[in-house]
Every structure is written in C-alpha cells, then in structure tokens.
C-alpha cells in the first residue's frame, strides 16, 4: 500500500474542505502535539544530509544536461 505524503493529503483531502473545516482540523492536529515535542532546527548537516544533497544535485545536473543536449540537437 502506498504511503500518502503530507502534500498529497493536503491537496486531495484538506484542500477541498471548507475553510472552517480546515481550521477545525488544524486545531485538532495542533492540540494533539505533545508539549515535550521538539523540532531539531540545527543548521548542522549530517553525513546523510550531504549524501542526499549530492545525489539530488547530480540528478538535477544530469537532467539539465540532457535538456540542453536535446535542445541543441533540434537547432
């Protein structure tokens, strides 16, 4: 079974709700976050962060090079 992302849930479920229902849902979500919950806003990158960034950068450059080459061939 595929896992729904927050963006998909928002677009397909929350986005079609009335504004009052969206506010009600947001209130419910926020009220269920434990007080001791915290988010790590650290600006330090882990080794995994560097690997992910590097992989995404290489993939992006590869796609752009293909686009440039395709565009050059059509001229």
Where are the chain's structural domains?
Answer: 1-33, 45-75
Residue 73 and residue 48: Cα distance in Å, rounded? 38
* Per-residue pLDDT tens over the stretch 54-63: 999 999 999 9
* Per-residue pLDDT tens over the stretch 8-65: 999 999 999 999 999 999 999 999 998 888 877 788 888 999 999 999 999 999 999 9
Q: What is the pTM of this model?
A: 0.45
DSSP for 13-71 reads TGGGS-HHHHHHHHHHHHHTS-TT-------PPPHHHHHHHHHHHHHHHHHHHHHHHHH
Element holding 72 (H helix, E strand): helix 47-73
Contact (Cβ atoms closer than 8 angstroms) between residue 26 and residue 13: no
């Amino acid at each position: 079974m595929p896992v729904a992302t927050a963006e998909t849930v928002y677009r397909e479920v929350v986005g079609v709700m009335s504004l009052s229902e969206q506010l009600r849902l947001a209130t419910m979500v926020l009220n269920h976050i434990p007080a001791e919950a915290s988010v790590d806003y650290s600006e330090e990158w882990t080794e995994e962060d560097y690997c992910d960034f590097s992989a995404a950068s290489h993939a992006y450059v590869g796609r752009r090079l293909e686009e440039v080459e395709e565009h050059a061939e059509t001229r």
